[in-house]
C-alpha cells in the first residue's frame, strides 16, 4: 500500500515525499522538530497531530496537540483513514526509559542520604555514651547508699558491657564496694540468727523473737531464707508458736487500714487560678501537729490556702514551713492545731518492689477516692534524663493517679506512707498523651528530710497574704 507525505514549507509551496525518504529526513536530523497532521483520503484533517523530534539524531515519536510549526506535512493513504503505524524506535533513550533512569537516580540519591544520616546519628550516639555511662555510675552509687544492692549491680553490669568504656575502672571499683556491702549484710543476718538460736536454746523466746525481727529488717541480705528455717525449728508449744505468729502476722484488712488513714487526709483549696478559670486544688495529709504536706505545684502562686477535713470543716493555713520545687514538696502550717487528727507514719526506707499500696485523694473533686496497685520500681530523678526538673527518689506505681490526687498519701497495708502522689508520666506533654500505669510519688525518705527541715523553720506567710481571695 503506497504511502507518501506532502510537506508544506513556510512560503506555501509543497513537496511530495515518499514515506521511506521522509523517515530518513527525520532520522538524519534534517527535520529536527516538526508536526505532522494526519489527513484522510479526501485531504481532510482527522484532528490527530503526530509530533516527531530527534534526540542526538535518533528518531522518537509521540502524540501531542501542539499546533504545527512553520513546516507541515500531510500524510495520505489509498485505502485507510487509520493512523499510520508507528515507525520502530531506534533510541535506547525513549521517554519511558528516560523516566525509569531518572527514578533510579533519585532512588540512589535518597539511599545515599539515608546512609549519611544514619552514619551521623551513629556518631552522635557514640559521642553520648560516656555521659550515659557516667549517669549509670551515679545511679548505682545512689542505690548502694540505700542498700538496694541488686539494682546497683544491674547498673554496674550495664556499664561493664562496654569493655572499652572509660568508666570501666570506676564500675569495677563500685562493684567491689557493692559486694563488700552485700557480705556485711549477710554476716549481720548470720550473727543475729546465731544469737536467736542461742536464746531459743535457753528458752528465752522473747529475745529470740526480737533478734529474728531485727534480722528481717535487713532486706538486702541474700540469706534471709535462714529465718524460715529457724522458725520451722521452733517447738510447737504456745510460747514458741507466738514467735512464728509475730514474725509473720496475718495481714491487716485494707478496710481497717483505710479507716485509720482517712481522717488524716485533707483537701487543699487555694486562690491560685488555673488557665481554665478554676482554682488550684489537691490533696494533703497531716505529718505532724499543725503541719500538712502537699505538692508544691498544688499551692504554687497562692496567697491563701485552706485545709478541708473529713468532717467538712475548713481550716486556714497561715503560711509555709518548707518548699522544695525539685521534689514537689510543700509543708504548710495551720492557724489552729489539729490535735484530734493523728499524723500519718512515714516509712524510713524504700518499700519492696511489688508490695501492695493504695493511693488516696480527691481526683477531680471526688472526695476520698482510693486506687490500689503495687510498687513497680524505685526511681532516682537522674533516670528521668538530664533535662528533668525533678530531684530525689520516686516511687513508681500502677495505682491510678488523676488530677486532684496530687499531694495525697501512697501507703502500704501496714498503714505506712511510702510516698506522696505527684505526677503521671506523659508520652507527649504537648498533647497530654499519658503513659499507661506509670505514676510517680515522691519517696517518704525525701519527705522525712523535708519534715526535719520544716520543724526547725519559722512559718513564712504567703506573698500578698492580705489580698482577698477571688
pLDDT tens figures, 431-451: 666 667 899 999 999 999 999
- Name 73's bridge partners: 7, 36
Mean pLDDT of the region 33-46? 47
Asked if CATH classification 2.40.10.120 holds for the domain at 257-456, the reply, yes or no, is: yes
Beta bridge partners of 61: 52
How many whole angstroms separate alpha carbon 331 and alpha carbon 450? 8
DSSP for 214-275, written as a single string: HHHT-TT-S-THHHHHHHHTS-SSHHHHHHHHHHSPPPPPHHHHHHHHGGGEEEEEEEEE-T
Rounded to whole angstroms, how far apart are CA atoms 389 and 264?
Answer: 30
CA–CA distance, 142 with 196 (Å, rounded to integer): 32
| Banded pLDDT at 22 (limits 50, 70, 90) | low
Q: How many CB atoms lie within 10 A of CB 444?
A: 28
Give the chain's length: 470
Cβ contact 265:368 at 8 Å: yes
Furthest-apart CA pair in the chain: how many Å?
A: 137
Q: Are 333 and 320 in contact (CB under 8 A)?
A: yes
Residue 142 pLDDT level (bands cut at 50, 70, 90): confident
Across 13-31, average pLDDT: 56
Q: Give the lowest-confidence range in 8-22, 201-215, 401-415.
A: 8-22
pLDDT above 50 (res 72): no
Contact 394/378 with Cβ under 8 angstroms? yes
pLDDT tens digits along 279-308: 889 999 999 989 999 999 999 989 999 999
For residue 252, the model assigns a pLDDT of 77
Are the C-beta atoms of 378 and 151 separated by less than 8 Å?
yes
pTM over cut 0.75: no
Domain with CATH 2.40.10.120 in the chain: 257-456
Return the higher-pLDDT residue of 301 and 235.
Answer: 301
Return all residues near 108 (Cβ < 8 A) that are at least 6 apart.
none
Give CA separation, 322 vs 268, 331, 333, 338, in Å: 16, 5, 10, 19
What's the CA gap between 200 and 240, in Å, rounded?
9
Per-residue pLDDT band at 89 (split at 50, 70, 90): very low
DSSP string across 322-345:
EEETTTTEEEEEESS--TTSPPPP
Q: Are 213 and 244 in contact (CB under 8 A)?
A: no
- For 271, 392, 456, 460, 467, the CA distances from 470, given in Å and listed in that order, are 6, 35, 33, 22, 9
Helix intervals (H) in 146-237: 149-160, 168-201, 205-216, 225-232
**Range with the poorest average pLDDT among 38-47, 64-73, 317-326, 452-461:** 64-73
Q: Are 325 and 298 in contact (CB under 8 A)?
A: no
Tell me what the mean pLDDT of segment 99-123 comes to.
70
Report DSSP letters for 103-116, one per residue: HHHHHHHHHHHHHH
The pLDDT value recorded for residue 26 is: 54
Q: What is the pLDDT of residues 242-277, one digit of tens each?
A: 444 554 455 678 998 999 999 999 999 999 887 777
Distance CA 220, CA 363 (A): 36
Structure letter (DSSP) for residue 302: -
H/E run at residue 410: strand 409-412
Amino acid at each position: 500500500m503506497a504511502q507518501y507525505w506532502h510537506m508544506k514549507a513556510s512560503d506555501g509551496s509543497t513537496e511530495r515525499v515518499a514515506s521511506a525518504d521522509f523517515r530518513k529526513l527525520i532520522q538524519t536530523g534534517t527535520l529536527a522538530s516538526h508536526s505532522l497532521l494526519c489527513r484522510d483520503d479526501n485531504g481532510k484533517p482527522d484532528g490527530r497531530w503526530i509530533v516527531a523530534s530527534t534526540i542526538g539524531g535518533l528518531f522518537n515519536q509521540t502524540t501531542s496537540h501542539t499546533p504545527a510549526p512553520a513546516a507541515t506535512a500531510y500524510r495520505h493513504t489509498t485505502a485507510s483513514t487509520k493512523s499510520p503505524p508507528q515507525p520502530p524506535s531506534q533510541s535506547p533513550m525513549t521517554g519511558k526509559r528516560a523516566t525509569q533512569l531518572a527514578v533510579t537516580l533519585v532512588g540512589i540519591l535518597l539511599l545515599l542520604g539515608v546512609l549519611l544520616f544514619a552514619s551521623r546519628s551513629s556518631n552522635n550516639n557514640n559521642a553520648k555514651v560516656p555521659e550515659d555511662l557516667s549517669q549509670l555510675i551515679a545511679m548505682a552509687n545512689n542505690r548502694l547508699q540505700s542498700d538496694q544492692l541488686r539494682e546497683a549491680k544491674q547498673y554496674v553490669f550495664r556499664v561493664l558491657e562496654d569493655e572499652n568504656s572509660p568508666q570501666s575502672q570506676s564500675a569495677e571499683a563500685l562493684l567491689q564496694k557493692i559486694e563488700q556491702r552485700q557480705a556485711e549484710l549477710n554476716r549481720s543476718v548470720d550473727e543475729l540468727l546465731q544469737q536467736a538460736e542461742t536464746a531459743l536454746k535457753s528458752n528465752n523466746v522473747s529475745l529470740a523473737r526480737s533478734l529474728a525481727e531485727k534480722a528481717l529488717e535487713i532486706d538486702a541480705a541474700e540469706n534471709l531464707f535462714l529465718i524460715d528455717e529457724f522458725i520451722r525449728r521452733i517447738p510447737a508449744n504456745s510460747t514458741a508458736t507466738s514467735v512464728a505468729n509475730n514474725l509473720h502476722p496475718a495481714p491487716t484488712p485494707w478496710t481497717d487500714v483505710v479507716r485509720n488513714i482517712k481522717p488524716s487526709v485533707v483537701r487543699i483549696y487555694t486562690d491560685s487560678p488555673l488557665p481554665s478559670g478554676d482554682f488550684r486544688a489537691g490533696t494533703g495529709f497531716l505529718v505532724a501537729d499543725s503541719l500538712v504536706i502537699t505538692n508544691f505545684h498544688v499551692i504554687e502562686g497562692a496567697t491563701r490556702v485552706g485545709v478541708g477535713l473529713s468532717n467538712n470543716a475548713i481550716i486556714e493555713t497561715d503560711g509555709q514551713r518548707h518548699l522544695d520545687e525539685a521534689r514537689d514538696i510543700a509543708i504548710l502550717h495551720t492557724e489552729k492545731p489539729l490535735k484530734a487528727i493523728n499524723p500519718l507514719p512515714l516509712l524510713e526506707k524504700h518499700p519492696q518492689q511489688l508490695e501492695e499500696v493504695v493511693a488516696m485523694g480527691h481526683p477531680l473533686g471526688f472526695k476520698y477516692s482510693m486506687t490500689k496497685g503495687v510498687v513497680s520500681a524505685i526511681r532516682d530523678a537522674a533516670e528521668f534524663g538530664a533535662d528533668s526538673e525533678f530531684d530525689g527518689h520516686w516511687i513508681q506505681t500502677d495505682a491510678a493517679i488523676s488530677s486532684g490526687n496530687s499531694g495525697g498519701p501512697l501507703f502500704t497495708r501496714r498503714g505506712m506512707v511510702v510516698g506522696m502522689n505527684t505526677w503521671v508520666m506523659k508520652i507527649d506533654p504537648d498533647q497530654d498523651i499519658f503513659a499507661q500505669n506509670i505514676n510517680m510519688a515522691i519517696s517518704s525518705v525525701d519527705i522525712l528530710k523535708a519534715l526535719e527541715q520544716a520543724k526547725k523553720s519559722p512559718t513564712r506567710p504567703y506573698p500578698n497574704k492580705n489580698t482577698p481571695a477571688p
